[in-house]
Amino acid sequence: MSAILEVRDLRVSYSAGREILKGINFSVEADDFLAIIGPSGAGKSTLIRCVNRLVEPTGGEILFEGRDLLKLGESEIRAERRNIGMIFQEFNLIERLSVIDNVLTGRLGYTSTLRSIFRAYSKDDIRNAVRLLDRVGLVEHLDKRADQLSGGQRQRVGIARALIQNPKMLLVDEPTSSLDPKIAREVMALIREIAREFGVPVLCNIHDVDLALEFCTRVIGLQDGIKKFDGPPDKIDKRVLADIYAMEVL
């Protein structure tokens, strides 16, 4: 399997010279469901946002299908972002828009300015949005306003919005932190199913180690901007966790 994403010596520092990521290396293969675990403040969220350059890295390389994203200009990176779907912790829906309009915003990267003013999406986009809402089990809610949905339902809208981009990879940022344990498990299962169905790899930040071990095919352990572990979930034991989380007992 060839790597879809290859991250080399990735560095990020915010102002005042504090380094958030101190040279991270890893790659994502076509059928990976890769979890990034680690304590709060380790740089998980920053790492995932570097991949689609919501955060500007200060050094390194991010090769997406062999192309270095850090060398792209503003309009080129926008074009690449269309290929990378993202799912957020707080869902980040547009509350005052309907469910279907929220899903359709996933097509904005493919839609002209004029068409987006009038929300004149193509017929195929609209059909596709309905199909995806059906897939995530929300087709009967499609004309509701997003703020009328429950947390789990909102995250499903977020998943549909990422899928309608026709992504080649999914970035998932703490998808379950705003959800209760039962719904969290359902959402993780849905993401795994969908990733298989659409044949896309997933790069997922998650602080819940049990969920990471249950759903992911590979785990990266991050601590204070340094990669501490990279391997399959069955290689993770108490000692590895203690190392990642820098503590004595779990």
Stretch that binds other proteins, among 20-28, 83-91, 134-142, 206-214 (CB under 8 A): 83-91
- By CB under 8 A, residue 95 contacts other proteins: yes
Q: Applying CB under 8 A, which of residues 6, 21, 47, 105 lies at the interface with other proteins? A: 105
Closest-CA residue to 80 (of 1, 5, 191) = 5
Shortest approach of other proteins to residue 107 CB, angstroms? 8
Q: Which of residues 170-209 bind other proteins (CB under 8 A)?
A: 171
In the complex, what is the shortest distance from the CB of residue 124 to other proteins, in angstroms, rounded to a whole number? Answer: 17
Nearer to other proteins, 105 or 176 (CB): 105
Span from 7-15, 63-71, 109-117, 240-248 in contact with other proteins (CB under 8 A) = 109-117
Only one of the segments 5-13, 61-69, 84-92, 124-132 lies at the binding site for other proteins (rule: CB under 8 A); that segment is: 84-92
Residue whose CB is less far from other proteins, 11 or 82 = 82
Stretch that binds other proteins, among 29-37, 88-96, 180-188, 205-213 (CB under 8 A): 88-96
The answer to whether residue 84 forms part of the interface with other proteins (CB under 8 A) is yes
Spatial strand order in the sheet of 169-173? 84-87, 169-173, 202-205, 33-37, 218-223, 226-231
Binding residues for other proteins, rule: CB under 8 A, are 52, 54, 78-82, 84-86, 88, 90-97, 105-109, 111, 113, 116-117, 158, 161, 165, 171
